[in-house]
Amino acid sequence: MKRNIFLNTKKCTQKYQYKKHNNESIKTKKMKENNIDCMKYRKSTHLAGVDVDMISAEKGKCILTIKDAYYNTGVDVSGNRTDGYFLEFMEAVKPMVVNSTNRKVIASIIKIKNKCSGAASRNIGNWKGLKLELIFDENVKMMGKLTGGIRVSPISPISKISDVNAKKMLNSSDDLKELVSNWNKLSSEEKSLPSVVAFKESLKKELK
């Protein structure tokens, strides 16, 4: 009798182990993927350049709509407690940390789009609903190292004003003093173009 109970228990255990192993195999098969980006399932809390690069590769462009913009402290950004400005989007993507360069570009777009003052354009409460095109810029540096990062594309809603001449003028600057001088030579319309503002900011870093 005891032997029969032992044999039945052993069979049940083996059956359970087989079923458990079989279920795990099914789960593994469901998760198995080929021909995907090796960075797709990395652990991260916020949108990074590689995410934007993957979205652009899949959809042609990475265009997102701002759902919320806010400043917060002690936010977990991939393991580091960070104080800063953040964006959340209507699309199913991670939140984004917004650095000063991208904030200036967004404010410039808002200023032209909403025809508002500089102060109003910098008020992040006015950014909700704005569509942005994000690009992956391989030339972005962090802590002096070339890491690549996210840039807000400075698409100007004013199509009649060209940024070509303004960029050419700024690009002729040999130092920061000349950059300031050339900036003052631009028209107010040229200065309001997001693409021109972004170009000036990038030159400021290069000419330091």
Boundary residue ending a domain (110, 135, 153)? 153
| Tens-place pLDDT, residues 4-52 | 544 455 455 555 454 454 454 444 456 788 888 787 778 889 998 889 9
Tokens describing residue 143: 């802590």
Distances (CA, A) of 104 to 23, 36, 37, 202: 52, 35, 32, 12
> What is the reported pLDDT for 28?
47
Distance, CA of 57 to CA of 63 (rounded, Å): 12
Cβ count within 10 A of residue 132: 21
Boundary residue ending a domain (122, 153, 184)? 153
* Pair 70, 147 in one domain: yes
Distance, CA of 156 to CA of 35 (rounded, Å): 37
* Pair 149, 160 in one domain: no
| Tens-place pLDDT, residues 159-195 | 556 788 899 999 999 899 999 999 998 887 788 788 8
* Pair 111, 172 in one domain: no
* Pair 148, 83 in one domain: yes
* Pair 145, 44 in one domain: yes
- Tell me, yes or no, if the pTM score tops 0.85: no
> What is the reported pLDDT for 7?
47
Print the domain residue range for 200: 156-208
Distances (CA, A) of 187 to 9, 62, 166, 196: 87, 31, 9, 11
11: in domain = no
pLDDT cut 90: percent of the chain above it: 41
